A and B are shown apart, each in its own frame.
Chain A
Amino acid sequence: MATTYYTEDHEWLSVEGDVAIVGITDYAQEQLGDLVFVELPEVGRVVKKGETAVVVESVKAASDVYAPADGEIVAANDAVVSDPSLVNSAATGNGWLWKMKLADEGQLTGLMDEAGYKALVG
């Protein structure tokens, strides 16, 4: 059973064991507007918490998506590269961005649960 965590940078992580699927929240995709380009990380890349893992571009602007924890990228969602609008239409589903193997599950304790995140974005 996966547990979902949220970051203050409007990302979600669905964690099962030591693997997390990461995407941006529905609130984030709404703020960004229609996405037209997504630059995904290479599989095998090791990222540090806070480092830019993905760049998403809307019609108007580019935005960074940060790694929410330390770890290694084990998969990237190529579907959002060919159709960036998937992130708008299914931010928390088929519009996921990458999968990572967590280096330190202890980093999850600082993240929010759904109720905490809802309180943050109102």
Chain B
Amino acid sequence: MTGDPKHLPLDDIHRESGAKFGDFAGWSMPLTYPAGVMKEHLHTRAHAGLFDISHMKLFVVSGIGAAAMLSKACPIDAAALPLRQSKLSFFLDDAAGILDDLIVTRLGDDRFMVVANAGNADADEALMRSVARHYNCLIEPLDRVFLALQGPEAAAALEEAGIDLDGLVFMNGLEPKPNWFMSRSGYTGEDGFEIGLPEGDARDLVKKLTADERVMWVGLAARDSLRLEAGLCLHGNDIDPTTDPSGAALIWAIPKDLREMGAFNGAGSLRAILADGAKQKRVGLKPKGRQPVRGGAPLVDEDGNTVGRVTSGGFGPSVGHPVAMGYVATALAKPGAGKLFAEVRGQRIPVDVHPLPFTPHRYVKG
């Protein structure tokens, strides 16, 4: 990433709210607000946290070839998605390495929304445009403010702000009015919503929401600790082109018939990986004691042999202990399969493979 970071459209509101900023994926992002990461995290789990995630990119994919294009670019059957249904998927390279993860939502017969990660948005757009040369469809990057409201009181706070939830359940999305996109989804493990909308509308909505005492601004630092407790992957850390959906324990996102017969990018390599069995698997890791174990730390066995690596780690404010994720040799990838240690500053910290998520998901399902 070169040059000055981009500023969010609501940058002024974050400054007035006392945010501390840091650069992430080419954007100057609010990391924390005056409440601090711990309170912001706990508030989200107890009430409702408001996140500005406008660094993420929304694309409308439309036209009679839209479903076919998406089904080539990603391991999904876009034509079979029910209206309003959102689905986690991936852009894979020829070796089935994960170029990005994304959420695809069906908005109409020939109309889909794609939500992609900030750092990969340009590459994702180029990839879709390249695939789209063979299909009759239009790819339209949207200029939107993108807000997430997450937590057990998110639904009530949105309704109070005049938003009709329209019967949305977890992993449902729709266009409630022109130039708006709203889905019941998120990155915290809590019930919640993500809303893409024009800047003027966003300023009105933020004003209403922040006047509600249930709602608190939450920065990127707590977004990271929330998603880590929820066992959700961050592209660039836990998944990247050197990992594949099988090793990443995300194969559930790919329908069974597609794994066997799909013609999506990377299908052949993924079939070979599934036939051989992944060498390493992504797991939750619970370090013993209080010391956090961070991404990048090697994982070793009792004899000091490297058997994996930590990809994300920190402290889990809701669980009250350090939490981490990483990859270990498949034979060790279940609780109690063998002793594991993370190497931190020359010390070996015992870690246990721990089921994910660390905090139970509380999605509102249909």
Contact = CB atoms under 8 A, between A and B. Distances in A.
A33 B315 CA distance: 12
Rank and list the top 9 A-B pairs by shortest CB-CB distance, nearest first.
A34-B38, A36-B315, A59-B37, A59-B315, A37-B291, A37-B290, A60-B221, A57-B292, A33-B37
B315 A57 contact: yes
A33 B32 contact: yes
12 contacts: A33-B32, A34-B38, A36-B292, A36-B322, A37-B290, A59-B41, A59-B222, A59-B317, A60-B37, A60-B224, A60-B225, A60-B314
A33 B221 CA distance: 10
Contacts of A58: 37, 315
B225 A59 contact: yes
A33 B314 CA distance: 13
A62 B221 CA distance: 14
B221 A59 contact: yes
Interface residues of A, number: 12
B interface, over-half SS? mixed
Interface in B322-339: 322
Interface string A27-59: 000000110110100000000000000010111
A10 to B, nearest CB: 15
Given A33-B221, A37-B315, A59 B38 contact: yes
A61 interface: yes
A61 B290 contact: no
B36 interface: yes
B177 interface: no
Interface string B309-325: 00000110100001000
Nearest to B224: A60
B294 interface: yes
B345 interface: yes
Contacts of B345: 55
A16 B88 CA distance: 62
Nearest to B290: A37
A62 B294 CA distance: 9
Given A59-B38, A59-B315, A36 B294 contact: no
Given A55-B345, A57-B315, A59-B317, A34 B36 contact: yes
A104 to B, nearest CB: 28
Contacts of A59: 37-38, 41, 221-222, 225, 314-315, 317
Given A55-B345, A59-B315, A36 B221 contact: no
Contacts of A39: 291
Nearest to A31: B20
A14 to B, nearest CB: 26
Interface in B274-325: 290-292, 294, 314-315, 317, 322
Nearest to A38: B290
Contacts of B221: 33, 59-60
A60 B225 CA distance: 8
Contacts of B36: 33-34
A98 B322 CA distance: 25
A36 B290 contact: yes
Contacts of A60: 37, 221, 224-225, 314
Given A33-B32, A33-B221, A59-B225, 13 more contacts: A34-B317, A36-B290, A36-B292, A37-B315, A57-B315, A59-B38, A59-B41, A59-B221, A59-B317, A60-B37, A60-B221, A60-B224, A60-B225
Interface string B242-275: 0000000000000000000000000000000000
Contacts of B37: 33-34, 58-60
